[in-house]
Amino acid sequence: MTNKYSESLDSKFKETTNLGLEVVKEASEDRLMKLSVGPQHPGSGHFRFTIKVDGDYIVYCDPDPGYVHRGEEKMCEYRNYIQNIPHLERPVIHDSTNITYSYSLAVEELLGIEVPRRGQFIRAIASELNRQVYTLYWLAIYGIFLGHSTMFMWPTGDRELFIDLLAALTGARVTHAFNIPGGVRNDIPEGFKEKCLEYIKYFEKRLKEYEDIFYNNPLFRQRTENVGILPKQDAIDLGVTGSVLRASGIPHDVRKVEPYDVYNEIDFKVQYMKTCDSFARAYVPFLDMRESCNITRQLLEKMPESGEVRVKLQSNPKGRIGEAYKRVESGRGALSYYIVSDGSSKPYRVKISVGSFRNILALPHLLVGSRLGDMPSIYWALNYWPVEADR
């Protein structure tokens, strides 16, 4: 256990012994206390990590996920390609369009079909709206983590607007099962475009207020700025993704680097920051929300007025022998599916690689050496959703 803090203690002991006093030095292990955080704690539950603290400093951290491990990958092998959709969206029910998006893309590659153009646009619109729903929920929990209860109430209230839009589009509040291999389940309802534009206009006004009350709040800035620095090279080595990666100064967004469906026709910027701290990790999703409003508006403008929204499939489609690896940008970063097909109607193997599982590798890296009081702001800024990481 050699960190800066214990080294400074050692030098202090040396000073006192020089005075001629007899000082009994305790062993370094005696100073350590082991704490178990979770699975029941005031923030977001279903995740536990053990830490060891030396005074106020965290010197050891060991994540222990798996409290919501439901065996999705094994269940996939027993259901056919269409039946798999409802249970695959459960890991992130507030980002369910994105988690079924890459699954649909991978299955489409195996089935060898192409989604009609209007279907691609509707998919992208639903995906952008769902990104807002996810990020607002994440922001609300971040507010409650830091004791800022206004920041719980505002985002959860505004989130309902987007939930209303998605409910009008798909018929369910959070579990949409909207993306299916071959397109989307149904066309957009009447008056959706006007309603959507109106909500986005209102929401952009609200975003300014969020910035004033939360991001420019001196208390919030003190708790997050220069806390939990993840340098650029470390972010690359640890393979983090999404907002955590972009906060470390790497403009990597799957929508930009490998555009899927209609994203190559949309003009948008990848939002990133170079300060690498918790504030940047909290601010990048906010910038993403603003950019997402812009993307939704463009998608609504460019969408063809009429046309098919899905390809007709056989009742029990069979995939070609082979494998597919597809990824999309979800609220938490790259979300990819690796599907192996043996020619039958059920996948032979499905591997889900999620952003949360990749980002949690940075948690011990960031917590070791930081203070105990900084734990909430570091942990939740990693954009981590435990249910998704466990699958």
Partner 1 sequence: MLMIKDLINPANFNLLVSQVSDVLVGALDQPLGYAINWGRIWSLWPVHLETACCSVEFGATSSPRYDCERFGIIEAFGSLRQCDLIVVQGTVTRKMAPRLRMVYDQMADPKYVIAMGACSITGGLYIDSYNVLPGIDGIIPVDVYVPGCPPRPETLIQGCMLLQEKIKRSKIK
Partner 2 sequence: MTDINNDINQTTSNLNIVEPDLKIEHSLYSQLSSEFKDKVRLVYTKPNRIKISVEPEHIIEVAFFLKNQLGLDHAESVGGTDYPDENVIEVIYHLNSYSREELAPIILALSTKTDRNSSYLPSLLPVFKSVEYHERETYEMLGVYFQGHPRNERFLLPEDWADIPPLKKEFRIKGR
Residues that bind partner 1 (CB under 8 A): 39-42, 44-46, 66-71, 74-75, 78, 86-87, 90-94, 137, 140-141, 153, 156-157, 159-160, 173-175, 387
Closest to partner 1 by CB, 94 or 310: 94
Minimum distance from residue 155 beta carbon to partner 1 (Å): 9
Which tokens hold the place of 371? 């203070």
Q: Are 380 and 43 in contact (CB under 8 A)?
A: yes
Contacts of partner 2 in 116-155 (CB under 8 A): 116
The answer to whether 306 contacts partner 2 (rule: CB under 8 A) is no
CA triple 252-66-289, angle to 5 deg: 30
Establish how many alpha carbons lie within 13 A of residue 70's alpha carbon, considering only the half-sphere containing its beta carbon. 16
Residue 253 CB neighbours (<10 A): 25
Minimum distance from residue 69 beta carbon to partner 1 (Å): 5
* 27: DSSP letter: P
CB under 8 A: which stretch of 110-118, 135-143, 191-199, 212-220 binds partner 2? 110-118
Minimum distance from residue 81 beta carbon to partner 1 (Å): 17
Of the candidates 178, 357, 380, 384, which one interacts with partner 2 according to CB under 8 A?
A: 357
Contacts of partner 2 in 219-238 (CB under 8 A): 235-238
Closest to partner 2 by CB, 35 or 236: 236
Establish how many alpha carbons lie within 13 A of residue 215's alpha carbon, considering only the half-sphere containing its beta carbon. 16
159 binds, among partner 2, partner 1, none (CB under 5 to 8 A by kind): partner 1
- The Cα–Cα gap between 129 and 385 comes to 18
Query: Binding string to partner 2 for residues 57 to 96, with x set by CB under 8 A, is what?
Result: --------xx--x-x-xxx--x------------------
Helix ranges, the chain (H):
4-18, 28-31, 72-76, 84-88, 96-111, 117-145, 150-170, 192-210, 218-224, 232-238, 243-247, 254-257, 278-302, 355-359, 362-367, 375-381, 386-390
Minimum distance from residue 292 beta carbon to partner 2 (Å): 21
359 binds, among partner 1, partner 2, none (CB under 5 to 8 A by kind): none
Rg of the Cα atoms in the chain:
23
Of the candidates 113, 168, 197, 207, which one interacts with partner 2 according to CB under 8 A?
A: 113
SS (H, E, C) 295-361: HHHHHHHHCCCCCCCECCCCCCCCCCCEEEEEEEEECCEEEEEEEEECCCCCCCEEEEECHHHHHCC
Of the candidates 57, 195, 258, 297, which one interacts with partner 2 according to CB under 8 A?
A: 258
Q: Are 278 and 227 in contact (CB under 8 A)?
A: yes
Question: Can you give the binding site for partner 2, defined by CB under 8 A?
Answer: 65-66, 69, 71, 73-75, 78, 112-114, 116, 235-239, 241, 245, 250, 252, 257-258, 311-314, 322-323, 325, 327, 334, 336, 338, 340, 348-349, 351, 353, 357-358, 360-361, 390-391
